[in-house]
């Protein structure tokens, strides 16, 4: 399954593009350039009649979504799209909900997957703090073509830069970079690096992640070649308007279609309710996901939109998913075979320790 496409997903002048649609190719520069102007336009969400107090602390604690996730499966810990600073880029939006973790305590991560080098998916401060939490240098960074240079400038050493359909393996884990309909942009440079989606395959479970994408036929191909997946994380927000969606984002109903095409057993909704990047109502993506799930006969437990800080046990004893939650005492997960006699014992430890982390994280610290 280790295929590699030609350089057909590059413009002749060296810029990357999406090869599925001429209209998308033509919209690429126009839409990406307008993103930078929108970054300084949307500061508060559109008014929402169903949530007039959308940004109150009580509502945020109850309903709020997330973007970055940590997934644990088959003895490894995977972090996606490390962007956990207070702002989305140096001059961008402020995070609506504070990160409920200390990045310095995330010493359990083995693999970091980067969907795009845009600030909402890749943040220098987050990367540097992750490096500080892993002084022995065992972190593995996976990115698309052209992104490795940035990571290495920030101090990353074990960087794997892949083209679409490339795979890289370590121990009994295989990581594959697959396509997505997206764009890249950093420091004023647009589409100079390659974006995509990710697959992590272990001995018994598999994980699919895409941080941002438009709807296209490639997910059906991915599902046919690599599916079914034990768990997937798919975006549901930032689509501007249900009547006129952006070409590089999906609506909740399109996300459900991707979920089905990937043959995912369970999916977690991401990319909503963290930064105000577009003008749909703040909680509209979650509501639309719930409504469309009913219409499309998708069981609620199959496609979840969880609040930030919550641990979701996708498959009992097998997979735990953390939404930006840390556990300060968790050891490097690939070393667990030395301490724990069986995978079941290790999974029980995951569930207990993560639950303790959530309780301690969500409890306010006493004032000094």
All domains in the chain, ordered by first residue: 57-362 (3.60.15.10)
CA angle, residues 160, 14, 26, in degrees to nearest 5: 110
CB 180 within 8 A of CB 196: yes
pTM as predicted? 0.81
Q: Which of 123, 47, 133 is nearest to 92 (CA)?
A: 123
Q: How far apart are CA 153 and CA 272, in angstroms?
A: 30
For residue 341, what is the DSSP state?
Answer: S
Q: Which residues of the chain carry a pLDDT beneath 70? A: 1-13, 27-47, 51-67, 89-92, 100, 241-245, 307-310, 314-368
Q: How far apart are CA 47 and CA 53, in angstroms?
A: 9
Q: Which of 67, 69, 178, 189 is nearest to 118 (CA)?
A: 189
Identify the pLDDT of residue 354: 42
Contacts of 149 (CB under 8 A, 6+ apart): none
Contacts of 185 (CB under 8 A, 6+ apart): 32, 35, 36, 117, 118, 191
Structure tokens at 49: 């009649």
Identify the pLDDT of residue 25: 72
Q: How far apart are CA 111 and CA 126, in angstroms?
A: 14
Give the E-state strand segments of 121-263 in sequence order.
140-144, 159-162, 167-170, 173-178, 185-186, 189-190, 197-201, 206-209, 229-235
């Amino acid at each position: 399954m280790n295929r590699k496409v030609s350089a057909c997903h590059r413009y002749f002048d060296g810029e990357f593009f999406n090869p599925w649609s001429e209209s998308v190719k033509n919209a690429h520069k126009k839409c990406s350039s307008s993103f930078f102007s929108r970054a300084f336009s949307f500061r508060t969400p559109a008014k929402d009649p169903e949530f007039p107090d959308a940004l109150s602390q009580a509502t945020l604690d109850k309903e709020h979504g997330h973007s970055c996730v940590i997934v644990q499966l088959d003895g490894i810990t995977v972090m996606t799209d490390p962007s956990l600073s207070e702002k989305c880029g140096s001059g961008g939006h402020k995070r609506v909900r504070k990160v409920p973790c200390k990045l310095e305590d995330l010493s359990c991560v083995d693999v970091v997957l980067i969907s795009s080098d845009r600030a909402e998916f890749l943040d220098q401060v987050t990367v540097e703090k992750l490096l500080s939490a892993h002084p022995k240098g065992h972190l593995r960074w996976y990115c698309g073509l052209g992104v490795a240079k940035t990571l290495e400038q920030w101090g990353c050493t074990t960087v794997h830069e892949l083209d679409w359909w490339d795979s890289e393996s370590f121990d009994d884990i295989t990581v594959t970079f697959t396509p997505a309909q997206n764009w890249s942009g950093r420091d004023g440079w647009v589409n100079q690096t390659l974006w995509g989606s990710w697959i992590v395959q272990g001995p018994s479970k598999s994980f699919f992640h895409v941080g941002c994408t438009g709807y296209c036929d490639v997910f059906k191909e991915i599902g046919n070649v690599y599916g079914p997946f034990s768990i997937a994380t798919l975006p549901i927000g930032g689509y501007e308007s249900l009547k006129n969606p952006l070409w590089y984002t999906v609506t909740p109903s399109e996300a459900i279609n991707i979920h089905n095409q990937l043959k995912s057993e369970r999916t977690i909704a991401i990319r909503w309710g963290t930064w105000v990047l577009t003008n749909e109502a703040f909680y509209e993506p979650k509501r639309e996901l719930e409504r469309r799930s009913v219409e499309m006969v998708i069981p609620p437990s199959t496609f979840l939109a969880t609040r930030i800080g919550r641990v979701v046990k996708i498959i009992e004893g097998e997979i735990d998913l953390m939404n930006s939650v840390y556990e300060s005492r968790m050891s490097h997960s690939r070393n667990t075979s030395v301490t724990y006699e069986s995978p079941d014992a290790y999974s029980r430890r995951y569930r207990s320790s993560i639950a303790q982390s959530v309780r301690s994280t969500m409890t306010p610290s006493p004032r000094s």
